[in-house]
């Protein structure tokens, strides 16, 4: 995985990928950041906005690349365009605004993320309801971690029939002092359990707001 830019977003992503034993090569033009991260990650000091630098790095041989540059829209667009031109199969790019996102998508980025916006949505759902975590995957499909509504307490999932009743699916259950377990028809929901639930975001919101 090629990670370009070691600001807060890029460095956190690269560090996490490395901790997951995924091979990472980071590219950063700031010498101070290169020095800071070189003890933890393979880092190359280079300006990825220059297509010759990407060529020298062998960027075209990577199956995926992440453009973590966000402070300079021009640099972000140039780097993403360079990656598109050399045919990197999967390009992720960070955007700092909706307009920035549209530009990146138009020039060929396969995935565009707005970290601050997405973080804000997750916090809003957590603060505004009973959801402890909220991740929108795509086109409204969402996965949440939440406390179980009272009506589910001490019933098995086959008795609750939540998919037909509310249009949501319980993926798994985490009970205090026990490992996470994937849910089955005979899984019993306890009052102090944590549920991992999937479905349409609006349906999940309604389910989470039940007493």
CATH code that applies to domain 118-208: 3.30.70.1450
Query: How far apart are alpha carbons 173 and 184 in whole angstroms?
Result: 10
**8 φ/ψ sector (left φ>0, alpha ψ -120 to 50, else beta):** alpha
Q: Where are the domains of the chain?
A: 2-113, 118-208
pLDDT at residue 97, rounded to an integer: 87
pLDDT at residue 9, rounded to an integer: 86
CATH code that applies to domain 2-113: 3.40.50.720
Q: What DSSP string runs through the chain?
A: -EEE--SHHHHHHHHHHHHTT---EEEES-HHHHHHHTTTS-EEE--TTSHHHHHHHTGGG-SEEEE---S-HHHHHHHHHHHHHHT-SEEEEE-SSHHHHHHHHHHT-SEEE-HHHHHHHHHHHHHHSSEEEEEEEETTEEEEEEPPPGGGTTEEHHHH-HHHHHSEEEEEEE-TTS--EE--TTPEEPTT-EEEEEEEHHHHHHHHT--
For the record, the structure tokens of 146 come out as: 């939440």
Q: Could you tell me if 126 and 144 are in contact, meaning their C-beta atoms sit under 8 angstroms apart?
A: no
pLDDT at residue 59, rounded to an integer: 93
| Residue-by-residue pLDDT tens, the chain, 211 positions | 999 999 888 898 898 888 878 889 999 999 999 999 999 999 999 999 999 999 999 999 999 999 998 778 899 999 999 999 999 999 999 898 889 999 999 999 998 888 766 665 655 555 555 677 777 766 678 888 899 999 999 999 999 999 999 999 999 999 998 888 999 999 999 999 999 999 988 888 889 888 8
pLDDT at residue 124, rounded to an integer: 55
pTM of the prediction?
0.63
Q: Could you tell me if 5 and 67 are in contact, meaning their C-beta atoms sit under 8 angstroms apart?
A: yes
Q: Could you tell me if 196 and 148 are in contact, meaning their C-beta atoms sit under 8 angstroms apart?
A: no
Query: How far apart are alpha carbons 71 and 94 in whole angstroms?
Result: 10
CB atoms within 10 A of CB 211: 6
């Amino acid at each position: 995985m090629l990670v370009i830019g070691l600001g807060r977003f890029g460095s956190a992503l690269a560090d996490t990928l490395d901790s997951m034993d995924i091979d990472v090569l980071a590219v950063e033009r700031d010498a101070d950041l290169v020095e800071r991260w070189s003890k933890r990650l393979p880092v190359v000091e280079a300006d990825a906005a220059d297509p010759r630098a990407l060529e020298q790095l062998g960027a075209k041989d990577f199956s995926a690349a992440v453009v973590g540059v966000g402070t300079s829209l021009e640099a972000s667009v140039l780097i993403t365009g360079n990656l598109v031109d050399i045919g990197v199969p999967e390009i992720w790019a960070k955007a700092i605004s909706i307009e920035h996102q549209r530009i990146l998508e138009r020039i060929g980025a396969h995935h565009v993320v707005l970290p601050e916006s997405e973080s804000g949505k997750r916090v809003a759902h957590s603060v505004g309801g009973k959801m402890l975590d909220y991740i929108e995957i795509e086109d409204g499909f969402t996965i949440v971690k939440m406390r179980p509504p009272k009506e589910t307490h001490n019933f098995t999932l086959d008795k609750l029939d939540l998919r037909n009743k509310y249009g949501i699916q319980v993926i798994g259950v985490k009970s205090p002092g026990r490992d996470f377990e994937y849910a089955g028809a005979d899984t019993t929901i306890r009052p102090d359990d944590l549920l991992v639930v999937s479905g349409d975001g609006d349906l999940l919101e309604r389910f989470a707001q039940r007493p």
